[in-house]
């Protein structure tokens, strides 16, 4: 069973490109449809939990499914399984990347790629923005965080993004305590 | 001590990266630039490589940074550091705190964190797009090629969604931008 968990998640880790959210459909296919380890509802639950907990979404899902099947050993087997393929691949790449980048046309390719990365991140941000609840508090926190983060990036202002997140959490909690009425469910529509 | 710095740096990333890989990129950028481990250019290159290789993007970035700074042991430490918080929090939630995430105070904290993450991701994306794509045209050397590339790639990427149902995938955009880079910068 532990070996099956490990191998299944290694397969998931090896065949998903584009990070955690791209993995969810493959995890659903393997764990719900094929192996019947969890139900479809549980899968939906994991997605919600993964969104509210820190860390890679794929790790959250693997730990959840592994723990459900076999407790802590299962969680370890699934988590190591989903991590190992990318660890090996990136470790190999890291040994060659520097010498690769010395080749002129590859360096040129990466000058183009850097521009694409900025666009991709803006795109993800805009998508998340559109999914946010259009209420005063979340919108104000979003706008303030955006402005402060830009200031941090373009001026000598020393302030980490983690302190910014803690400040946002504190503001939200303070407003909740003062108002007494809940401003529920955070930023996103179900 | 580099091992200790890698451990602490990536534990921070693991503890605070809400909203998946793109939520982690601003944190990793913070940590990596603060310690001087990578240049902004190398980090951006690695984000593209992580997006185009299998596996969680956060794990890929941690492995790369660890390996580039301190070999295989560094890679192991950074990777473990980035996944351990997620691992323990899920086990904790499932084993003892089954209702923790529904707790109203936790909800209130999440209600502040989520929009903050959206703002941070947007600001980081804008910073990277400005630094690599737009600002070079306004510096003394006045290189307009990045600006033209940015406009063209944005047009193709967002335009493809209007024309085709699914549009260009992120990996598709990376491949296209690589070809465009070879073409634009290769011809002198």
Q: What is the mean pLDDT of residues B31-60?
A: 86
What local confidence, expressed as pLDDT, does residue A39 receive? 85
Quote the minimal CA–CA distance from A138 to chain B in Å: 5
Residue range(s) defining the domain that contains residue B8: 2-103
Least confident range of A18-32, A72-86, B15-29, B66-80: A18-32
Q: Which residues of A touch B24 (CB under 8 A)?
A: 56
Q: Which residues of A touch B35 (CB under 8 A)?
A: none
Over residues A45-69, the pLDDT tens digits come to: 777 777 778 888 888 888 989 998 8
A157-161 long-range Cβ contacts below 8 angstroms, 24+ apart: A160/B30, A160/B34, A161/B16, A161/B26, A161/B27, A161/B30, A161/B120
CB distance B56–A17 less than 8 Å?
no
Among B14, B60, B169, beta carbon nearest to A90: B60
CB distance A87–B79 less than 8 Å?
yes
Of the residues B87, B133, B168, B176, the best mutation for testing chain A's interface (the one with the most A CB atoms within 10 Å of its CB) is: B87
Residue A81 and residue A69 in contact, taking contact as beta carbons nearer than 8 Å: no
What is the number of other CB atoms lying within 10 angstroms of the CB of residue B175? 18
User: By C-alpha distance, which of A8, A65, A86, A160 is closest to B79?
Assistant: A86
**Nearest C-alpha in A relative to B169:** A18
Residue A57 and residue B20 in contact, taking contact as beta carbons nearer than 8 Å: yes
**Nearest C-alpha in B relative to A125:** B122
Would you say residue B11 lies in a domain? yes
Over residues B53-65, the pLDDT tens digits come to: 888 888 889 999 9
Q: Which residues of B touch A153 (CB under 8 A)?
A: 123-124, 127
User: Terminal CA-to-CA distance of chain A, rounded, Å?
Assistant: 34
User: Terminal CA-to-CA distance of chain B, rounded, Å?
Assistant: 44
Alpha-carbon distance of A154 to B92, in angstroms, equals: 39
Question: Within 13 Å and on the Cβ side, how many CA atoms surround A10?
Answer: 14
Positive/negative CA dihedral, A171, A172, A175, A176: negative
Q: Is B142 left (phi over 0), alpha (psi -120 to 50) or beta?
A: left
What secondary structure letter does DSSP report for B53? S
Would the pLDDT of A25 be above 80? Answer: no
Q: What is the mean pLDDT of residues A142-169?
A: 84
What is the number of other CB atoms lying within 10 angstroms of the CB of residue B155? 10
Alpha-carbon distance of A190 to A52, in angstroms, equals: 13
Would the pLDDT of B86 be above 60? Answer: yes
What local confidence, expressed as pLDDT, does residue A189 receive? 40
- Cα→Cα distances A101→A18, A86, A95, A157, Å: 22, 21, 12, 32
Q: Which residues of A touch B107 (CB under 8 A)?
A: 182, 184-186
Percentage of residues in chain B having pLDDT higher than 70 = 98
**Nearest C-alpha in A relative to B41:** A114
**Nearest C-alpha in A relative to B133:** A115
CB distance A56–B24 less than 8 Å?
yes
Among B16, B75, B86, beta carbon nearest to A165: B16
Among B58, B82, B113, beta carbon nearest to A165: B113
**Nearest C-alpha in B relative to A104:** B186
What secondary structure letter does DSSP report for B185? H
CB distance B90–A75 less than 8 Å?
yes
| Token pair for B182 | 């070879």
The total number of structural domains that make up chain B: 1
Alpha-carbon distance of B103 to B49, in angstroms, equals: 39
Q: Which residues of A touch B170 (CB under 8 A)?
A: 18, 120
What local confidence, expressed as pLDDT, does residue B180 receive? 87
The interface predicted TM-score of the complex, written ipTM, equals 0.80
CB distance B127–A182 less than 8 Å?
no
What local confidence, expressed as pLDDT, does residue B168 receive? 79
Residue B143 and residue B137 in contact, taking contact as beta carbons nearer than 8 Å: yes
Q: At a CB cut-off of 8 Å and minimum separation 6, what does A148 contact?
A: A159, A164
Split at pLDDT 50, 70, 90, the class of A95 is: confident
Among A20, A53, A83, beta carbon nearest to B90: A53
Would you say residue B161 lies in a domain? no
Residue positions counted in chain A: 190
Alpha-carbon distance of B164 to B160, in angstroms, equals: 6
What local confidence, expressed as pLDDT, does residue A187 receive? 46
Would you say residue B163 lies in a domain? no
What local confidence, expressed as pLDDT, does residue B42 receive? 87
């Amino acid at each position: 069973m532990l070996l099956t968990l490990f191998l299944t998640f290694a397969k998931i880790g090896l065949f998903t490109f584009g990070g955690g959210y791209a993995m969810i459909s493959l995890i659903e296919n393997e764990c719900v449809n094929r192996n019947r380890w969890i139900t479809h509802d549980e899968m939906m639950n994991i997605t919600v939990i993964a969104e509210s907990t820190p860390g890679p979404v794929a790790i959250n899902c693997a730990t959840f499914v592994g723990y459900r099947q076999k407790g802590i050993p299962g969680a370890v087997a699934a988590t190591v399984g989903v991590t190992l393929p990318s660890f090996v691949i990136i470790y190999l790449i890291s040994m060659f990347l520097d010498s690769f980048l010395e080749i002129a046309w590859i360096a040129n390719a990466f000058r183009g790629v850097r521009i694409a990365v900025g666009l991709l991140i803006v795109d993800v941000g805009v998508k998340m923005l559109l999914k946010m609840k259009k209420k005063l508090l979340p919108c104000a926190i979003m706008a303030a965080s955006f402005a402060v983060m830009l200031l941090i990036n373009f001026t000598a202002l020393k302030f980490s993004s983690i302190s910014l997140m803690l400040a946002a959490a504190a503001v939200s909690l303070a407003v909740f305590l003062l108002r007494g009425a809940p401003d529920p469910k955070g930023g996103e529509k179900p | 001590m580099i091992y200790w710095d890698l451990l602490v740096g990536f534990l921070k990333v693991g503890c605070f990266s809400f909203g998946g890989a793109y939520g982690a990129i601003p944190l990793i950028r913070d940590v990596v630039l603060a310690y001087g481990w990578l240049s902004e250019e190398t980090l951006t290159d690695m984000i593209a490589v992580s997006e185009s290789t299998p596996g969680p993007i956060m794990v890929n970035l941690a492995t790369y940074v660890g390996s580039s700074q301190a070999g295989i042991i560094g890679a192991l430490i950074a990777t473990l550091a980035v996944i351990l918080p997620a691992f323990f929090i899920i086990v904790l939630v499932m084993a003892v705190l089954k209702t923790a995430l529904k707790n109203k105070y936790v909800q209130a904290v999440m209600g502040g964190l989520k929009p903050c993450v959206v703002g941070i991701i947007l600001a980081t994306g804008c910073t990277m797009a400005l630094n690599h794509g737009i600002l070079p045209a306004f510096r003394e050397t006045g290189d307009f090629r990045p600006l033209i590339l940015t406009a063209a790639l944005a047009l193709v990427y967002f335009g493809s969604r209007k024309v085709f149902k699914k549009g260009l995938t992120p990996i598709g955009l990376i491949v296209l931008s690589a070809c465009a880079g070879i073409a634009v910068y290769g011809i002198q």
